[in-house]
Amino acid sequence: MKILVAVKRVVDYAVKIRVKPDKTGVETQNVKMSMNPFCEIALEEALRIKEAGFAEEVIAVSIGPSQCVDTLRTGLAMGADRGIHVETNSSFLPLTIAKILKSLADVENPGLIFLGKQAIDDDCNQTGQMVAALLGWPQATFASKVVLDKDKNVATVDREVDGGLETLNVDLPAVITTDLRLNQPRYASLPNIMKAKSKPIKKMTVQDLKVDIKSDIEILEVTEPPKRKSGVMVSSVDELIDKLKNEAHVV
């Protein structure tokens, strides 16, 4: 079985982000970029499944500008067997990404597609679900535990949901998106970094995959949330009621 893992290059989780003055987005120039933490967890899980003998190949995929190769190299250094870079300078929203991943899945025929539950830059939490829908495959999202049954070709997944934990059985092939508690990703070790240098990264374009990239969503503006205003001391209950009524309009 092959496992396809989608990894996204995002602003590093620990960086304090700033909105660009022209409000078109977040400042990414001269800012540390890293693999999305949930994608890291997804890749780690795929590697563990391969090491347990359930899969022969883990393929890392990234969609974006030329620097995505760095993210794929990290994936290869963790242990992925090969990488696919769909090169584009456009910033795609989840539906387009999902269409691209579907095209790749049609070519590679993986038994499992792993994604992070969401990217920390847009927090969309949509791509995994859309890929599953486009492929007509079952999905198990927010996975905190994955157990495979090779004979029955089924994955048993614990999901972290608002009410607690839900356990699902999904037939393979399936799409799984990963949550924080699923695993602790391994570090990229020197021997693996060395091996990664000879692993192939295939470059492709959106045209190669015959995907329609027209988006029906347009980002108009990105702004910072309004700054918290400092509190006001009131001198009496009457003044408080007056303010609640006439200023805050909540009474």
For another protein, the binding residues (CB under 8 A) are 12-16, 30-32, 34-35, 37, 40, 67, 70, 74, 77-78, 184, 187-191, 193-194
Task: Return the number of the residue (197 or 249) whose C-beta is nearest another protein.
Answer: 197
Question: In the bound complex, what is the minimum distance in angstroms from residue 146's beta carbon to another protein?
Answer: 22
Give me 89's structure tokens.
């300078």
Task: Return the number of the residue (13 or 244) whose C-beta is nearest another protein.
Answer: 13
Task: Return the number of the residue (35 or 201) whose C-beta is nearest another protein.
Answer: 35
Cα dihedral value 126, 129, 134, 135, nearest 10: 140
Q: Are 115 and 178 in contact (CB under 8 A)?
A: yes
* Amino acid at the residue 218: E
Cα dihedral value 35, 41, 46, 50, nearest 10: 110
Helix (H, G, I), strand (E, B) or coil at 7: coil
Cα–Cα distance, 71 to 74 (Å, whole number): 5
Task: Return the number of the residue (26 or 188) whose C-beta is nearest another protein.
Answer: 188
Question: In the bound complex, what is the minimum distance in angstroms from residue 61's beta carbon to another protein?
Answer: 17
Question: In the bound complex, what is the minimum distance in angstroms from residue 190's beta carbon to another protein?
Answer: 5
